[in-house]
């Protein structure tokens, strides 16, 4: 496993706007002009974030007339987004060797 590469990927994704952008691109192609309306921000802000996502190889674009239309390039992003959206109702079980009992409650002194 290349932990450095995984770490860099998570750093690029670790911004609310970029996560939302990736989620919107998960099932659709968006042109920069549409992103402003869909994501509710300025074109210059969008361009900065999209540029970072492109340099990281997560998204790519094609030109349609005068518009750049963006789409997800890395299929792993779909899996990561699904994992982030998944809701967990329980914690993992503690290992048997763990000295803390699962039902123990600390009493305030």
Q: Do the domain assignments include residue 100?
A: no
> What pLDDT, on a 0 to 100 scale, did the predictor assign at position 7?
94
CA 13, CA 20: separation in Å to the nearest integer? Answer: 10
Please tell me the total count of domains within the chain.
Answer: 1
**What are the tokens at 82?**
């699904």
Q: Do the domain assignments include residue 55?
A: yes
Q: Do the domain assignments include residue 88?
A: no
Give the tens place of pLDDT for each residue, 81-91: 999 999 988 88
If residue 86 lies in a helix (H) or strand (E), which one and from where to where? none
> What pLDDT, on a 0 to 100 scale, did the predictor assign at position 49?
94
Q: Do the domain assignments include residue 25?
A: yes
Q: Do the domain assignments include residue 101?
A: no
CA 3, CA 10: separation in Å to the nearest integer? Answer: 10
Q: Do the domain assignments include residue 102?
A: no
**What are the tokens at 106?**
């600390």
What does pTM read for this prediction?
0.79
Q: Do the domain assignments include residue 11?
A: yes
Range of the domain at 26: 3-83
Pick the closest to residue 19 from 66, 78, 75, 93 (CA basis): 78
Give the tens place of pLDDT for each residue, 44-103: 889 899 999 999 999 999 998 998 999 999 999 999 999 999 998 888 888 888 776 655
Q: Do the domain assignments include residue 97?
A: no
- The CATH number assigned to the domain holding 67 equals 1.10.10.10
């Amino acid at each position: 496993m290349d932990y450095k590469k995984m770490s860099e990927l998570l750093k690029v994704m670790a911004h609310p706007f970029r996560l939302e952008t990736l989620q919107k691109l998960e099932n659709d192609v968006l042109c920069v002009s549409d992103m402003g309306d869909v994501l509710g921000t300025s074109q210059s802000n969008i361009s900065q974030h999209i540029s970072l996502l492109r340099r990281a190889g997560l998204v790519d674009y094609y030109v349609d007339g005068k518009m750049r239309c963006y789409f997800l390039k890395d299929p792993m992003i779909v899996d990561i987004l699904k994992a982030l959206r998944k809701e967990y109702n329980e914690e993992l079980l503690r290992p048997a060797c763990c000295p803390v009992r699962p039902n123990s409650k600390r009493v305030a002194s």
